[in-house]
């Protein structure tokens, strides 16, 4: 999951034009500059390859751009707009993409939020946890809850 981050970015290359001037994919005019940018198999003026959101010149920001839904974006805006994993089921705040998360069924949690919601016990990999009414519970609290409801399974 984390490793996928790299493949989202598209490399920009700063190249020197050969004898035949290339058309800019941004403004459709010929590129007569000393350098031009090559990205997405197209050529661009350095001024024309801009983030659709913040208008920053992508060639200055770095060598990677991001695209989604026909938008060309800088990394910051891409992450802001699309780089979200979901809302943490415990604190309901957004979880940025590429952050480590815990998952339980359809829920995602911040690592820090993934704890028993009654006693705050943290879980390690392999620990048993239970999901009840969308609350994470440790085994003790889960069984106690069942007991109170009067249908505790007669195990152990
Ligand atoms: Zn242009
Ligand atoms: Zn931007
Ligand atoms: Zn959280
Ligand atoms: Zn607990």
- The per-residue pLDDT for 153 is 55
- The per-residue pLDDT for 154 is 55
Residues by chain with Cβ below 5 Å of ion ligand 3: 88, 90-91, 110, 113
| Ligand (nearest to CA of 66) | 2
| Ligand (nearest to CA of 117) | 4
Strand ranges for the chain from DSSP E: 9-11, 13-15, 36-39, 42-44, 64-68, 71-73, 84-87, 94-96, 101-104, 107-110, 129-132, 135-138
pLDDT tens by residue, the chain, 156 residues: 444 444 468 888 888 877 788 899 999 999 998 889 999 999 999 999 999 999 999 988 777 899 987 889 998 888 777 777 788 988 999 888 777 888 888 888 998 999 999 999 998 778 889 998 888 999 999 999 988 876 545 554
- The per-residue pLDDT for 4 is 42
- The per-residue pLDDT for 134 is 83
Q: What is the pTM of this model?
A: 0.52
CATH fold of 86-150: 2.10.110
Q: Tell me whether domains 7-82 and 86-150 share a fold.
A: yes
Residues by chain with Cβ below 5 Å of ion ligand 2: 51, 53-54, 56, 74, 77
For the chain, the structural domain boundaries read 7-82, 86-150
| Ligand (nearest to CA of 111) | 3
- Asked if 33 contacts 46 with a C-beta cutoff of 8 angstroms, the reply is yes
- Calculate how far, in angstroms, residue 101's C-alpha sits from the geometric centre of ligand 2: 26
- Calculate how far, in angstroms, residue 27's C-alpha sits from the geometric centre of ligand 1: 4
- Calculate how far, in angstroms, residue 132's C-alpha sits from the geometric centre of ligand 4: 12
- The per-residue pLDDT for 155 is 53
Pick 7-82's CATH classification: 2.40.110.10, 3.40.50.720, 3.40.50.300, 2.10.110.10. 2.10.110.10
């Amino acid at each position: 999951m984390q490793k996928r981050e790299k493949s989202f970015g598209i490399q920009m290359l700063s190249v020197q034009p050969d004898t035949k001037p290339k058309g800019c994919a941004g403004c459709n005019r010929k590129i007569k500059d000393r350098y031009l940018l090559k990205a997405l198999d197209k050529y661009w003026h350095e001024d024309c390859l801009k983030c659709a959101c913040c208008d920053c010149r992508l060639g200055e920001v770095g060598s990677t751009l991001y695209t989604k839904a026909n938008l060309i974006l800088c990394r910051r805006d891409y992450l802001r707009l699309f780089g979200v994993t979901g809302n943490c089921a415990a604190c309901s705040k957004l979880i940025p993409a590429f952050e480590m998360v815990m998952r339980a069924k359809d829920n995602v949690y911040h690592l820090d939020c993934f704890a028993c919601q009654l006693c705050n016990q943290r879980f390690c990999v392999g620990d048993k946890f239970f999901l009840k009414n969308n609350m994470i519970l440790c085994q003790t609290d889960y069984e106690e809850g069942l007991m109170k409801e009067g249908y505790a399974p007669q195990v152990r």
